[in-house]
Amino acid sequence: MLNEWHAEVEEVYDQMVAWRRHLHENPELPFQEVQTARMVGDILAGYGIKVQRNIGGHGVVGILKGGKTGPTIALRADMDALPIQQKNDVPYKSQVPNVMHACGHDAHTATLLGVAKILSKYEDQLHGKVKFIFQPAEEQFPGGAIQMLEEGVLEGVDAIFGNHVLSSVPLGNFTVPKGSATASSDYVKIRIIGKGGHSSAPHTSVNPIVIGTQIITQIHLLMSQKLDPVQPVVAAITVFNSGGTINVIPEEATIEGTVRTFNQEQQENVQTLLTHILNNVTVTYGATYEMEYTRGYPQLVNTEKETKVVRDLLDNINHLNVVEMPPIMASEDFAYYLQQVPGVYFYTGSATDAPTTQFPHHHPKFNIDEQAMKNSAKGFLSIVHYYLVPDDA
């Protein structure tokens, strides 16, 4: 039966491409996925799948109940886009100014719809249930996963599986991290309060811009000297804003960024070090500060038993391979699901020799080779077959 399912991926591929391109042309930001959710729900309903809408916001859940009893397996795709102006010229370019599917969520959604279409034809032969989880707002904290969980999306679920296309991995390959798959991500906002004045008399002022540059320098310097180098840490300052004008030393400046780690101890160490830096630098210059340190998505950890199963399944798909890749410092709110039930988050390579497929995620020219959707779909189908068609092993 599994060979039949994989063969049907080829048949539904053109439809997946059409869905993906429609979504790419009509992206919606986190917590605003109204039309995307409507489209997803309507397509699922058209295949006779029970649909639950508005779960945790704009989340959609499709429930396919097999003809025989067995476990419940959840498959998850994210639906939201990013606040990025698309800069590559493709026939399906985003029609929404400053909004773009620059991470592959359009492909994730289209792929899972294709999987649902195939499995709906074999409903009576499934030993258990499949929950298709279409999640909003992965890209923006606090994220859509935590809200869907609060509304019981994993009730009765025995295991959950998620997938992400990856432009750093060549097409034709999967990677299935053992243990840690992504890092935790914390958010830092620092308000530096100095004393404004005229730029011609800096000695009468306390310049928060000068102080901010010292803080940023100390963060990068001391991170390399005070933290264990074998435990990865990324502290990325991405906002520095004073709102000032020429000839005016501003009263305040704001620094914002993210901190990414792979364990709670390092999280604590980073926060302590930041506080130490802020105390010392601001005192030296006669300023004060306020810091907001928000714990974001936790570390994503694939469970051991399910990881072995998925690695074996994907490695047995014809013409596809499982390759090794170290954990990445990106974060993913799929981590919340894995805190409640076993499961695996795996990656599908989407890069080819064509330069257009090699831009990093969140880049305004990001794109994938759409053949990757076939591979992701086959991966999901292999997982469902393993858990819900035991008589066909």
In this predicted structure, the answer to whether residue 392 has a pLDDT above a threshold of 80 is no
- The mean per-residue pLDDT over the stretch 224-252 comes to 91
pTM attached to this predicted model: 0.93
Residues 21 and 156 in one domain: yes
* CA-to-CA separations, 144 to 42, 74, 75, 179, 217, in angstroms, rounded: 20, 16, 15, 23, 35
Instruction: Work out the pLDDT band at 393, boundaries 50, 70, 90.
Output: low
- The mean per-residue pLDDT over the stretch 319-326 comes to 94
Residues 145 and 8 in one domain: yes
123 is in an annotated binding site: no
Residues 64 and 143 in one domain: yes
The last residue of one of the domains, among 295, 311, 337, is 295
- The mean per-residue pLDDT over the stretch 217-229 comes to 89
In this predicted structure, the answer to whether residue 378 has a pLDDT above a threshold of 70 is yes
% of the chain beyond a pLDDT of 90: 93
Q: Which of 8, 106, 138, 370 is catalytic?
A: 138
Integer Cα distance of 387 and 393 in angstroms: 10
Residues 83 and 24 in one domain: yes
Residues 364 and 385 in one domain: yes
Residues 31 and 93 in one domain: yes
Which among 144, 114, 113, 121 has a CA at the least distance from the CA of 51? 113
| Of 145 and 391, the one with more pLDDT | 145
- The mean per-residue pLDDT over the stretch 178-196 comes to 96
Give the pLDDT confidence of 19-55 residue by residue, as tens digits.
999 999 999 999 999 999 999 999 999 999 999 999 9
Give the pLDDT confidence of 242-287 residue by residue, as tens digits.
998 999 999 999 999 999 999 888 889 999 999 999 999 999 999 9
Residues 164 and 208 in one domain: no
Give the pLDDT confidence of 73-124 residue by residue, as tens digits.
999 999 999 999 999 999 999 999 999 999 999 999 999 999 999 999 999 9
Residue 336: what pLDDT?
98
Give the pLDDT confidence of 324-371 residue by residue, as tens digits.
998 899 999 999 999 999 999 999 999 999 999 999 999 999 999 999
As a whole number, the mean pLDDT across the chain is 96
Whole domain around residue 265: which residue ranges? 184-295
Integer Cα distance of 113 and 132 in angstroms: 9
Count: domains in the chain = 2
The CATH number covering residue 203 comes to 3.30.70.360
138 is catalytic: yes
Residues 244 and 378 in one domain: no
Residues 75 and 136 in one domain: yes
* CA-to-CA separations, 22 to 17, 19, 25, 338, 339, in angstroms, rounded: 9, 5, 5, 31, 33
In this predicted structure, the answer to whether residue 61 has a pLDDT above a threshold of 70 is yes
Backbone angles phi, psi at 178, to 5 degrees: -90, 120
Residues 207 and 304 in one domain: no
The last residue of one of the domains, among 278, 295, 312, is 295
The CATH number covering residue 338 comes to 3.40.630.10
- Pairing type for strands 248-249 and 197-198 reads antiparallel
The last residue of one of the domains, among 280, 295, 310, is 295
80 is catalytic: yes
In this predicted structure, the answer to whether residue 311 has a pLDDT above a threshold of 80 is yes
164 is in an annotated binding site: yes
Instruction: Work out the pLDDT band at 228, boundaries 50, 70, 90.
Output: confident
- The CA-CA-CA angle for residues 35, 40, 42, to 5°, reads 95
Residues 53 and 158 in one domain: yes
Integer Cα distance of 151 and 358 in angstroms: 38
385 is in an annotated binding site: no
Residues 340 and 244 in one domain: no
Q: Which of 8, 33, 80, 369 is catalytic?
A: 80
Residue 263: what pLDDT?
86
% of the chain beyond a pLDDT of 70: 100
